[in-house]
Amino acid sequence: MSFLRIEGLSINLGEFHLQDISLHLEKGDYLTVIGPTGAGKTILLESIIGFWSPDTGHIVLEDRDITEELPERRRIGIVYQDYALLPHFTVFKNIAYGLRKKEKNGLEARVRDMAASLNIDHLLHRKPATLSGGEQQRVALARALIVEPKLLLMDEPLSALDPQTRRETRSLLKEAIARQGTTVIHITHDMKDAWSLANKVAIFRQGRLLQFGTLDEVFTRPKTEFIADFVGATILVGQVVEHTDGLSTIAVDSFRLVSLDPAQPGSEVKVAIRPEDIIVTKTYPRDISAHNILPARLEGIIRQGSTCVLELGVNDTRLSVLVANNAIERLNLVSGDDLYAIIKSTNVRIV
């Protein structure tokens, strides 16, 4: 039986409806919940912890229906973006706050151990106002984790941090979560959170759960064009012209793609290609065995910090390619260059 089961959960808040949400998690799963603003992600978390009472459906935690239980009896922790630290307490007292209600034996050792795991043990005497945003967020995480919640809910906990602090906090969080074996549901707009932390992903839109599954299932086989666009994949529509020797050949625009996925000849299919799964070169690659080598024109370069997105034109089809910044200089790329796009057949996924 699953560790957490959400079954047919619906909430009518007047101006917003959470509609028939069902998903399940095993113990130790890390789920990232992704979707545009107003999709219902926070309402989902606050329903799980008990701040909202659903109109229909059930929330079952460790085979116990907690749908109508008071929040304080559920043993579920929650961390918000704004930290919610007690300003007049030291870091030590903030972390220990939940423990003081339960136990005092070994309290100091537990607080120091938890603080050390998040690299804030040198800050225990400080007040929240003297801390940086990243330090405050780690205090909030420590306070939530130290009571050993059965389930930890996080609502964009890293979104207010600068990129460097976000990377550091993400790494520390991953270690702390793994150490305790905590099951997590984490709302985020940053795909790096999903790639770095999660093993499952849920995509929400307008109060509905559009897709739920492993990272590979959702990011490489998005069910709709909206999901593909949201997770950064390109969806192409084509017709299967043959399936032989375990390979499907799909006619797209005026070129063909080969996929390892099975498909019925004559059928119309959609294929998903992720931008990081395309390799570009200026010369024809004669020394590789890739089935998909497409002549392309470089139509634009979009810089995104340490990475770049190359916008390619393959006849009338547009492909996005994610590369490291140094690839631009190494290949001496400029808009208008003629290139070859190389895509392995394993990375052409029929959806």
Q: What is the pLDDT along the chain (351 residues), one digit of tens a residue?
A: 799 999 999 999 988 999 999 999 999 999 999 999 999 999 999 999 999 999 999 999 999 999 999 998 999 999 988 888 999 999 999 999 878 665 667 888 999 999 999 999 999 999 999 999 889 999 999 999 999 999 999 999 888 888 888 888 899 899 999 988 999 999 999 888 999 999 999 999 999 999 999 999 999 889 888 998 899 899 999 999 999 999 999 999 889 999 999 999 999 999 999 999 999 999 998 877 778 999 999 999 998 878 899 999 999 999 999 999 888 889 999 999 999 999 999 999 998
* 105 lies in the same domain as 70: yes
Domain boundary (225, 247, 265) is at 225
Beta strands 200-205; 208-214: pairing state: antiparallel
Both 39 and 109 in one domain: the answer is yes
Q: Return left, alpha or beta for 152; rule: phi > 0 is left, psi -120 to 50 is alpha, else beta.
A: beta
Last residue of a domain, one of 188, 205, 225: 225
Q: Assign 30 to helix, strand or coil.
A: strand
For residues 148 and 207, membership in a common domain is answered with yes
pLDDT of residue 253: 85
User: How many structural domains comprise the chain?
Assistant: 2
pLDDT (tens digit per residue) in 293-317: 999 999 999 988 788 999 999 999 9
Residue 270 and residue 214 in one domain: no
Question: What is the domain-level CATH number for residue 280?
Answer: 2.40.50.100
User: How far is 305 from 84, CA to CA, in rounded Å?
Assistant: 31
Residues 324 and 183 in one domain: no
* CA–CA gap between residue 255 and residue 251 (Å, rounded): 6
Q: What are 34's strand-pairing partners?
A: 203
Parent domain of 247: 233-350
pLDDT tens readout for residues 54-80 = 999 999 999 999 999 999 899 999 998
Cα 218 from Cα 212, distance rounded (Å) = 7
Looking at the fold, whether 158 and 88 belong to one and the same domain comes out as yes
Same domain, 324 and 242: yes
Question: Residues 250, 179: one domain?
Answer: no
pLDDT at 101: 60
Distance CA 28, CA 265 (A): 42
Same domain for 269 and 285? yes
Check whether residue 265 and residue 170 sit in a common domain. no
Query: 107 and 182 in contact (C-beta within 8 Å)?
Result: no
| Per-residue confidence (pLDDT) for residue 32, from 0 to 100 | 97
Residues 28 and 110 in one domain: yes
- Same-domain status, 237 and 221: no
**Residue 181, domain CATH:** 3.40.50.300
How far apart CA 108 and CA 259 sit, in angstroms, is 58
Q: 186, 208, 225: which is the final residue of a domain?
A: 225
Per-residue pLDDT, 162: 85
